[in-house]
Amino acid sequence: MNLFLQVDPKTFWNAPHGSTELYVKLFAAFIIGIGVAVGLTFIPAQLRKWVVRFVTFGAGLFYVLFWIFPRPISRTPTDAPRGAIEGVSFWIADSQPVIMTLTNVIAGFMIGLGIYSLLRVHFAKIAKQQRDWAYSVVLVTSMFLMVVLGYGDFLQRQNPANFGLADEKNWGLINYGKDLLFDGLLQNMDAGMFSIVAFYIMSAAYRAFRARSTEATILLVTALIVMLSLMGVVEFMWSGVIDRISPNNGLVQSLKLSAISGWLKGTIQTPAIRGIDFGVGIGLLAMGLRLWLSLEKTGGEA
Amino acid sequence: MGNQYLDTGWFMIVLTLVMVTLILFNISRAHGGKDLYIRRISGLNAIDEAVGRATEMGRPVLMVPGLSASVNAKTMQAINIFAYVTRVAARFANPIMVCCADATVLTVCQEVIRDVYQQEGLADQYDVDSVRFISDRQFAFAGGVAGLILREKAAATFFMGEFYAESLILAETANSVGAIQVASSTELTQTPFFIAACDYVLIGDEYYAASAFLTRQPVLVGSLIGQDWCKLVMIALILCGATLNSIQQRGMTKIEHKDGKWVDLPKERAVLAKDTFFSHLLKADPEKNIKLDPPREKLPPDQLPTGGPAGGDK
């Protein structure tokens, strides 16, 4: 069974799957990771700020280069750079997946903290038998079962000898258990939660579409026109009336619900969304710039 | 010339650099003590009111920094706003709850919230379980947060960051317990839901203006003014483009841009959108502006970038 399949075992960052080299590298990377994490805790508080700034700037600089420096066009795996510029271009392109993987590694470390937080809260609730502690028991039990059965099923399916698991007839208790928990319960409960949105839309719309002010009235009328234009029968009947009044007059024809709704969406809604989009994009750029240059003071004084 | 320049040439890079320069210039202006004005944002004015109300009712303040799968600029902005909310809540000794959908966000949130309590000299009031991980599955998270809102009867809720289909579930649940709600989603598709269900909504870049408005730090205020200058540049470009295109498309042309050079047309014709100045400015012409390698099959063997069958071993 090979859980460490490598797509392209050619560079320093890879090794042939199942090889001793791969396991040595994994072990070394793990030790280095732990070493770095422990080492960081010994850095004096004043210096820690500068380490964070340095790492943030370095990481940001890489992505700025990745974005600005010309990227290879139609590159094949066997291509070699023909000069310094292409060399840098190839290096950046090759390094990007490794940098991305580093992010995943950090996230991997963090998921442990997430689980710890979850268990801490719910074990405390169970131990003290606080209000609704039974729900915590259900959560911890489901989590434990899902981890055990999910990993059990995953490991079985990774083994090439178990290719028969594609057929339900060859399933065992673990496979049925995982199927029941994931596909039978979790997926359906997800769908159940999602379906609630339909009812919430109705209740929220009922509150929002009340003509309490000029703006709310405009919103109400606009929504009504768009909704009516999407109702086939209403649209058909109204268009019939318009056609009967004046089939060739452009001004009268533009009073069709579909025409008004199209104008609202194309002339009012789309430019407004574009405008907001520009603002959000520029805001994101400024925020990213401040974070990259460590100008942002998170949790600053009020 | 690289792959990323094929679409818009140098224009987008230059425009971005102009914007970066404008933002940095205004930050330096604000640092220099220049008094810069920011308009009032009602959603942010309501924060103190919402926390005060929660204190009067003796119920907690609940904050959700969205569903971001990692710590990014959007999440950091949400955490910045929550730091302010927490500061106000800490001064009133009001309990808070921060619900995270990602473990990295949880870690950063815990650090920031702890820092805020320490800065206020109330480190003993900080409850490590007030910042908690719920789930990284969208609807499990929605269910978990909705349950918390109902059980704890949150008096004020703040939803800031990346929200998707769960936005309305959270907002409507909070509404059902009578919570005062301030929300903002970086996803434009969710903003209408928040507008329908919440008391105050930060729309678009108001979200990114929030920390400048709340803290009045020169860097943030300067950055905000820089953003406004960038928007003015964009508006000017749009107006110039629309005007120039309108004028140009009323005329006739005898030449057109083809295969990297201007050629005479056999017959005069109306100017099309592709002939206009802005069309040429925004769409790079690969034949003229970008020096591309010829197709591989047309290259002589000694000019092929291939370094041998192993690749790179020249």
The pLDDT tens digits for A125-153 are 999 988 888 989 999 999 999 999 999 99
* Residues A220 and A234 grouped into a single domain: yes
Does A271 fall in a domain?
Answer: yes
* Residues A197 and A230 grouped into a single domain: no
Classify residue B292 by burial, with Cβ atoms within 10 Å: 0-12, 13-18, 19+: exposed
State how beta strands B261-270 and B200-201 pair: unpaired
Asked which of A208, A236, A257 is the last residue of a domain, the reply is A208
Q: Answer with the residue of higher pLDDT: A41 or B101.
A: B101
Does A201 fall in a domain?
Answer: yes
CB B145 within 8 A of CB B123: no
Classify residue A186 by burial, with Cβ atoms within 10 Å: 0-12, 13-18, 19+: middle
Distance CA A46, CA B307 (A): 49
* Residues A218 and A176 grouped into a single domain: no
Q: Do A107 and B169 touch (CB under 8 A)?
A: no
Q: Answer with the residue of higher pLDDT: B15 or A158.
A: B15
Tell me the shortest Cα–Cα distance from A161 to chain B, in angstroms: 32
Does A141 fall in a domain?
Answer: yes
pLDDT digits (tens, 9 = 90+) for B233-244: 999 999 999 999
Q: Sheet of B96-100: strands edge to edge? A: B131-133, B96-100, B61-64, B156-161, B180-185, B200-201
> Of the candidates A79, A110, A194, which has its C-beta nearest B305's C-beta?
A79
Does A156 fall in a domain?
Answer: yes
Does A190 fall in a domain?
Answer: yes
Cβ pairs bridging A and B (under 8 Å):
231
* Residues A236 and A173 grouped into a single domain: no
Asked which of A181, A208, A235 is the last residue of a domain, the reply is A208
Asked which of A157, A179, A208 is the last residue of a domain, the reply is A208
Does A136 fall in a domain?
Answer: yes
ipTM over 0.85: no
Does A45 fall in a domain?
Answer: no
> Of the candidates A71, A111, A286, which has its C-beta nearest B208's C-beta?
A286
The band of B310, judged by pLDDT with boundaries at 50, 70 and 90, is: very low
Does A34 fall in a domain?
Answer: no
Domains of chain B: 42-201 (3.40.50.150)
| Closest of B110, B112, B214, B199 to residue B156, by C-alpha | B199
Number of domain units in chain A = 2
CB B219 within 8 A of CB B24: no
> Is A95's pLDDT higher than 90?
no
Instruction: Give which of A41, A69, A287, A294 to mutate to test B binding, by max B Cβ within 10 Å.
Output: A287
Q: Do B223 and A201 touch (CB under 8 A)?
A: no
The band of B285, judged by pLDDT with boundaries at 50, 70 and 90, is: low
Predicted pLDDT at B103:
86
Distance CA A147, CA A140 (A): 11
Distance CA A122, CA A137 (A): 8
Instruction: Give which of A41, A268, A290, A291 to mutate to test B binding, by max B Cβ within 10 Å.
Output: A290
Is residue B168 less than 8 Å (CB to CB) from chain A? yes
pTM above 0.90, yes or no: no
Residue A245: give the domain boundaries.
214-291
pLDDT digits (tens, 9 = 90+) for B103-138: 889 888 998 999 999 999 998 889 888 999 998 899
* Residues A177 and A136 grouped into a single domain: yes
Tell me the shortest Cα–Cα distance from B178 to chain A, in angstroms: 14
